[in-house]
Amino acid sequence: MAVYCTDENQKLAYLKKSIKSITKTVELKNHRFFIIDNGSNKETKDWFSELADNNYFGDAHVILKTNPDNVGTARAINMAWQQRKPGEHCIKIDDDMVINTPGWVELMEEAIARDPKIGQVGVKRKDLMEHPDHANPEFRSRLFNLPHKPGEKWIIAEQAKHIMGSCVMHSSSLLDRVGYLYQPGIYGFDDVLMSWRANLAGFMCCFLPQIDVDHIDPGGNPFNDWKHKQASEQMKQVSDLVDKFISHEQSLYYEP
């Protein structure tokens, strides 16, 4: 999780809810949870210190790393992914996501285990447009049953071209093939580019819509306006980069 809470964006309240939901729905004794702080404000740093002083996470595997400045989402997440062990999948999760379904990490792991062609498996936010009957083929998805053996629970997945990066597990096979996250600036498009790279590398990208999630940042502040401006300014660069991936002019593999 990359964290960037400032006096302007007032995201600390969302961060607190996000982390609380993770402690409730993930067995952190079985999974490592990296929190990368991108130069957040003093209030956030004080809160992290309070968690440590009160032993909030107990004996869970929680690692906090801090950057003096905002290095961007992709660079921060890559700092955690550089600690990846052989065969280990990696999750990117935003600091304004509340997940309500217990055992969601194990469900994602099981999806990849049942179908190793899956490179990305993510939660599906309630504001996303993908569905099987969408008129636009870019947003048209496909529902399918994961491979099943008698006695196993049925798992339905939704294949889509692009998996929004709010909370996505990336398989170890995908990361071995394409490496780390990349984004042109410090905000946006890391998820778009990773979905393109996954598809072009022969992997499947899918949602598990049965995982109940809430995106709790309503936006509407100067920080979100800045993010939208950043995204609009980078669209041409991103489009050109995708063309280079398709033409093999640019390698799908990226290592910081």
Q: Which two tokens stand for residue 164?
A: 């929004």
Count each helix (H run) and each strand (E run) in the chain, helices first.
7, 11
Its pTM stands at 0.95
Q: Amino acid identity of 199?
A: N
Distance CA 226, CA 229 (A): 5
pLDDT at 19: 97
pLDDT at 224: 76
pLDDT at 215: 96
pLDDT at 111: 98
pLDDT at 221: 76
pLDDT at 231: 79
What is the per-residue pLDDT across 90-112, written as a single tens digit (0 to 9) for each?
999 999 999 999 999 999 999 99
Distance CA 19, CA 3 (A): 11
pLDDT at 100: 98
Domains and CATH numbers, the chain: 2-246 (3.90.550.10)
Torsion of CA 45, 50, 56, 62, to 10 degrees: 30
pLDDT at 225: 80
Distance CA 45, CA 195 (A): 33
Q: Nearest 5°: CA angle at 201, between 196 and 207?
A: 55
Can you list the residues of the chain whose pLDDT is less than 50? none
